[in-house]
Amino acid sequence: MGSLGRGSDAALRALLGGTFDPVTRGHLAAARAVRDALGCSVELIPNRQSPLKGRPGDDHHRLAMLALACRDQSGIDVNPVELSLPQPSYTVRTLAHLARENVDTLVFCLGTDALATIERWHAYPQLIELAGIVVLSRPGFELPAPPNAWRGRLATLDEFKQSPKGRWTHLPFAAVDSASSRVRHARANGGDWQTWVTESVADYIKEHGLYE
């Protein structure tokens, strides 16, 4: 397979980016699904400034909530790399930075909602050259057609695990519909929001008066 191969000394390293404002049970469910399917660790990477979204909340609070949420999640960690990179947070820049840092084979995870708008992402054709891509099912979104740059690169999960770089695969799972925006809206309007986050994150939000 040439450059598509992982190499005997390379380990898979899965990355799941987002604003995590706040991190929800849905984010954790997605990370666990990737961890279990690929048999590798997963890093949650908070964005500082997505070019397609508004400015998220305070970095300190988002990192603290991520640390609390991941504390009891085996194989799931926080990587704040994007918070120190030039802004806005371009995924292709983050992947290139991480690829230079280590020999691990990178796997970038995104939802079907993100795939539907992938052609709006900065230098999106380069993403699949830097990392294998896992597309996760999300509630209410069908699997859209891939961009032209990904045509002919769809792999089964077993094929992907053996040789992920330059390929993409679809990972359906019982997604938990608990978007961060729903948590913020419910919290601000007196609705039920605590079931969408872990108990530790709920306590942190209340202690610091976030999203009121």
| pLDDT tens figures, 108-128 | 999 998 999 999 999 999 999
Q: What is the pLDDT of residue 139?
A: 64
| Confidence check: pLDDT of 166 > 80 | yes
Ordered by start, the domain boundaries in the chain are: 9-179
Backbone angles phi, psi at 185, to 5 degrees: -65, -45
CB burial class (10 A; 0-12, 13-18, 19+) of residue 173? middle
- 46 in Cβ contact with 85 (< 8 Å): no
Between CA 195 and CA 190 the distance in angstroms is: 14
Q: What is the pLDDT of residue 7?
A: 45
pTM score, two decimals?
A: 0.90
> In Å, how far are 31, 99, 124, 132, 159 from 165, measured between CA atoms?
19, 12, 15, 4, 11
CA 44 to chain centre: 6
Between CA 108 and CA 13 the distance in angstroms is: 9
Q: Domain 9-179 adopts which CATH fold?
A: Rossmann fold (3.40.50)
Between CA 180 and CA 50 the distance in angstroms is: 15
**Cα dihedral sign for 205, 182, 121, 130?**
positive
Between CA 119 and CA 115 the distance in angstroms is: 8
123-134 pLDDT, tens digit each: 999 999 999 999
74-118 pLDDT, tens digit each: 999 999 999 999 888 899 999 999 999 877 899 999 999 899 999
